[in-house]
Amino acid sequence: DQQVKQNSPSLSVQEGRISILNCDYTNSMFDYFLWYKKYPAEGPTFLISISSIKDKNEDGRFTVFLNKSAKHLSLHIVPSQPGDSAVYFCAASALTSGTYKYIFGTGTRLKVLA
Amino acid sequence: DSGVTQTPKHLITATGQRVTLRCSPRSGDLSVYWYQQSLDQGLQFLIQYYNGEERAKGNILERFSAQQFPDLHSELNLSSLELGDSALYFCASSVVSGDEQFFGPGTRLTVL
């Protein structure tokens, strides 16, 4: 049972345009959401997060939106740059048995075309 | 560089064998997490340790075990290896449970 889903395995966007990566979740107990970026041959690196008490968090070119009623979050990258080409994972966490467990999606491969 | 180190980078072994993957967390981080990433799969959480004690278990097989040592480094032991165990194994660390996790570069395990 995939509690965190990234239904688009890949996305291609022109340089300078907006990239929108989507993530859906099923567990209403998730209260903290994160996006990680992964380049080939490297481990994932933290990008941006959002708590369930907010609906938007912005950090430079990256904005994460959270729609709790739809159990949906999205990552917007504006403007997209070729260096943004990577695999993006969304993750959700909930306090379970006294500790936080992170559930990751399967990732979306973003390709930004120059 | 996240500050998390993993060794070895690559490991090729045969079915039925046993291997040990090693992880050194960032300085000051008490929590260590192990994840498995198979082809076209997301990161599957395996197990978490906090200051030497097991904190949470995910989809970890009984053939797999882990431990965190007093110096906070961690080892993931995989035994009776099967072809399907071929994957990238990532270690991550955080200061405390629930904090943002910093990932190591991973160990690519190939079981032939």
For residue range A23-39, what is the model confidence (pLDDT) as tens digits? 999 999 999 999 999 99
What SS3 state is found at B83?
helix
> Residue A25 in contact with residue A4, Cβ under 8 Å?
yes
Query: Measured between beta carbons, which residues in chain A are less than 8 angstroms from residue B4?
Result: 43
Q: What is the pLDDT of residue A110?
A: 97
Q: How far is CA A103 from the centre of its chain?
A: 12
Q: Is the pLDDT of residue A86 over 80?
A: yes
Selected for mutation to probe chain A from B101, B102, B107 (highest A CB count within 10 Å) is B101
Nearest to A99 among B2, B40, B56 (CB): B56
Which burial class, exposed, middle or buried, applies to A67 when counting CB atoms under 10 A from its CB (0-12, 13-18, 19+)? exposed
Give the A-side interface with B, CB within 8 Å: 2, 4, 6, 9, 32, 34, 36, 41-46, 49, 89, 91, 93, 95-107
Nearest to A99 among B48, B92, B105 (CB): B48
Q: What is the pLDDT of residue A1?
A: 63
Search chain B and give the residue with CA nearest A34: B100
Q: Interior CA angle at A30 toward A74 and A51, to 5°? A: 60
pLDDT digits (tens, 9 = 90+) for A1-29: 679 999 999 999 999 999 999 999 999 99
CA distances from A2 to A11, A46, B24 (A): 21, 21, 30
Which burial class, exposed, middle or buried, applies to A97 when counting CB atoms under 10 A from its CB (0-12, 13-18, 19+)? exposed
Mean pLDDT within A51-75: 96
CA distances from A102 to A27, B34, B67, B99, B101 (A): 12, 11, 19, 10, 10
Q: What is the pLDDT of residue B59?
A: 81
Q: What percent of chain A has pLDDT over 90?
A: 82
Q: Do the strands B107-111 and B87-94 form a parallel or antiparallel pair, or are they unpaired? A: antiparallel
Q: Is the pLDDT of residue A100 over 70?
A: yes
* Dist CA A13 CA A81 (whole Å): 9
The residue count of chain B comes to: 112
Nearest to B42 among A34, A41, A89 (CB): A89
Mean pLDDT within A55-77: 97
Element (DSSP H or E) covering residue B35: strand B31-37
Query: Measured between beta carbons, which residues in chain A are less than 8 angstroms from residue B44?
Result: 104
Give pLDDT < 70 ranges for chain B: 40, 98
